[in-house]
Chain A
Amino acid sequence: GAGVSQSPSNKVTEKGKDVELRCDPISGHTALYWYRQRLGQGLEFLIYFQGNSAPDKSGLPSDRFSAERTGESVSTLTIQRTQQEDSAVYLCASSQQPGLEQFFGPGTRLTVL
């Protein structure tokens, strides 16, 4: 595709519900990253996928957060039992190789009421 796409663009949910966020990276990009950005804050790294290697989950803030990636295509980020502090924009990025320039999607704005 032309760029990284994410869905939904906005998600409003109630505290305690589970949410699933989707990312479609640029075709051919082997590396995929998830970040979180709270209002007025910088990027917070969550998780990184590279090919068939084990993902780097070191940025996931709790065990309520998980992510999957099928091969070198779509990825889903799942947040279970959402809390109000999970409210943020969740950004996905991909790069042709690890460490090269990352191309970001438009993000999913998650609001937990």
Chain B
Amino acid sequence: DAKTTQPPSMDCAEGRAANLPCNHSTISGNEYVYWYRQIHSQGPQYIIHGLKNNETNEMASLIITEDRKSSTLILPHATLRDTAVYYCIVRVGSGGSNYKLTFGKGTLLTVNP
């Protein structure tokens, strides 16, 4: 997996948008950007992924820069339950043998009341 860089921690006020950045300057053309999160004492949870277009689902939005060297995960209205470690990963999609998921240190997002 290509290396990603994320800030170690961020704070956000409840109800406000949380914008989590990720740098992936060495991403290859066939690699997707994936986001997972892990709430304390729970298993990791898939959030969203994208290749080059911006993506949105019921959980979050993913904004990928035109050069694909960085991206931002947006939680539009953060709640206390969104407090978790957020992991940004770049990897190829289906096929091949690249199925082992590797997390870096991620960003600890703390949503404050």
- Which listed residue (B49, B91, B99) contacts A31, Cβ 8 A? B99
Question: Which residues 70-113 of B have a CB within 8 angstroms of A?
Answer: 91-105
Q: How many residues of A are in contact with the other chain, CB < 8 A?
A: 25
Q: Is the CB of A43 within 8 A of B101?
A: yes
The answer, among B46, B97, B99, B102, for a CB contact under 8 Å with A103, is B46
- Cβ-based interface call for A65 (8 A): no
Chain B residues with CB below 8 A from A104, complex form: 43-46
Inter-subunit contact B43/A42 (CB<8 Å) = no
Contact flags A68-112 to B (C-beta < 8 A → 1, else 0): 000000000000000000000001010101111111111100000
Cβ contact within 8 Å between B104 and A91 = no
Beta-carbon contact of A99 and B43 below 8 Å: no
Q: How large is the interface on B (under 10, 10 to 19, 20 to 34, 35 or more residues)?
A: 20 to 34
B94 touches A97 (CB 8 A): yes
Q: How many A-B contacts if CB must be within 8 Å? A: 61
Q: Which residues of A contact B34 (CB under 8 A)?
A: 101
- Asked if B49 and A101 make an inter-chain contact with CB atoms under 8 angstroms apart, the answer reads yes
Cβ contact within 8 Å between A91 and B94:
no
**Does B95 contact A93, Cβ atoms closer than 8 Å?**
no
User: B105 → chain A, closest Cβ, in Å?
Assistant: 7
A102 touches B46 (CB 8 A): yes
Can you add 19 more A-B contacts, CB < 8 Å, to A43-B102, A100-B94?
A45-B100, A48-B99, A50-B99, A91-B43, A91-B44, A93-B43, A98-B94, A98-B96, A99-B91, A99-B92, A99-B95, A99-B98, A101-B46, A101-B49, A102-B44, A103-B46, A104-B43, A104-B45, A107-B43
Cβ-closest 9 pairs across A and B:
A104-B43, A45-B100, A99-B94, A101-B46, A42-B103, A98-B99, A97-B94, A104-B44, A107-B43
